[in-house]
Structure 1
Amino acid sequence: MKKLCFVFFISLIVSACASKPDTSYLEPLHQARLKSMLIVPVKNEVIDVQAPTSVLATLPFALAEKGYYTFPVNTVKTLLESEGYYEPAEVHAAPAENLAALFGADSILYVTIHEWTSEYILLATTTRVDFEYRIVNAQGQQLWQARKQLAYSPQQQNSTGHPLADLIAMAITAAVERLAPNYLPLTRTANGQVFNGIGTALPPGPYSPTYQAYYQKVAQDAAKEVQPE
């Protein structure tokens, strides 16, 4: 019996250790302690020319919620064009230190759209997005990266309990979504999950009310790790 209890206890410890999320990706961000973030034009790898505008419109709010200062995206676009950067691909290929110096930013956020589609099958329309995110410091060193894929099927959200009424509602909802896919909620959700999710969440920025407490805990945890046993 004692042996069984010991094995069970060890298995609990192993399970707890295994379930603990890996936060090592945060170390470069903790060292950098970013204050301002330059959001450059979104690189588009899909045929919908409106996709970058929708994505770009949702990013500043998501980062402001985390406590970071972001430069106005319209001002950024205008100034980049005055410097000869008209295409997002050119901006993404430009030296990061040059871009950061133009605005006095200490970091740059690059976003690439890999998928932005609305697929219609029978009575269902599924809208899908696939975004890649990358943050570098003012010297071009990568601090963080993430990728997010999401799908949305609005016709599956509600049910009246009446099969015929549900069928008609599904057909109407799917048709509307097919004609005018609602990407903005999906984009906001993708940003929110990336900037706040397990394994990808950004630490709070200096304008967040949790900033001081967060970094106090980071310092305390670091002190515990270096204490001799």
Structure 2
Amino acid sequence: MTLLQRVSMLVTVLVLGACASAPETKYLEPLHQAKLQSILVVPVNNNTIDVQAPTSVLATLPFMLAEKGYYTYPVNTVKMLLEAEGYYEAAEVHAAPADNLAALFGADAILYVTIHEWTAQYMVLATHTKIDFEYRLVNAQGQLLWQARKELVYAPQQQNSSGNPLADLVAMAITAAIERAAPNYLPLTRTANGQVFYGAETGLPPGPYHPKYAEYYQKLEQPKATQ
């Protein structure tokens, strides 16, 4: 094999590798077309026995959407208006026609979140807190624009050794017991929402209230202008 052939083969491998590692962006096309301004976050559907789970999710989720540049309706106001319309349970809201909900608030889109798992497994020296969330974003007509699912596990006892095996065992037992008594779901929930909304293959484009919104769509239009 000549030097030129080797160089050519190396370039081909590098190009193929770059293509393979490039994040998938086709999922963004419906969002680019919709160019959402406002997102209605409806009550979280909870498939677990922990009644506090939806509250923890809603404590971080609207804030992160606002950081992305989208207008989100105040959670308490949404709850009050939905109850005034006869929607008291999250399952009822999720089953309601999307166009009715969107019209009630004047929203461009609706975000549905379902909690599939919210547990803390205790094993004396190790407590693993696990969450499993499913996200669905639809437009005002109910057409799916975006969806994602995120599972995360939090193990607080996974820390650096102090060099004293006995002390490490005691520390692990105490940490596991604390996590069992009061599972630290909030940081885990915040991390899950952040990874979904900012992730390489699930992240949302910037909304109209984001400082880079105009720049983002200008770059998006540049390839089309050169064709």
Interval of TM-score (by shorter of Structure 1 and Structure 2): over 0.9
1:137 aligned partner: 139
Tell me the TM-score normalised to structure 1 length: 0.96
Instruction: Measure, in 1, the Cα distance between the counterparts of 2:24 and 2:225.
Output: 19
Match of 2:28 among 5, 26, 29: 26
Q: Distance in 2 between matches of 1:5 and 1:60?
A: 51
> Which digits, 9 at most, give the CA deviation of each residue in 1:60-90, with x for residues without a partner?
1111111111000111011001101111001
Ranges in structure 2 where 5+ consecutive residues have no aligned partner: none
Equivalent residues in 2 for 1:51-90, closer than 5 Å: 51-90=53-92
What's the secondary structure of 2:157's corresponding residue? Answer: helix
Residue 202 of structure 1: how far off its partner (Å): 0.2
State the SS of the aligned residue for 1:119: strand
Q: What residue in structure 1 maps to residue 196 of structure 2? A: 194
CA contact (8 A) 2:48 2:117 kept: yes
Which residue identity does 1:109 align to in structure 2? Answer: L
How is 1:41-190 mapped onto 2 (pairs within 5 angstroms)? 41-190=43-192
Superposition deviation, residue 24 in structure 1: 0.5
In 1: Cα distance, 2:77 partner to 2:99 partner: 19
Between the aligned partners of 1:222 and 1:97, the Cα distance in structure 2 is 33
* SS at structure 2 position matched to 1:3: helix
Cα distance, 1:221 vs structure 2: 2.9
Q: Is the deviation greater in 213-222 or in 185-194? A: 213-222
Does the 8 A contact of 2:69 with 2:207 survive in 1?
A: yes
Q: For the aligned residues, what is the CA RMSD?
A: 1.0
Query: Identity of counterpart residues, as a percentage?
Result: 73
User: Quick one: which amino acid aligns to residue 191 of structure 2?
Assistant: T
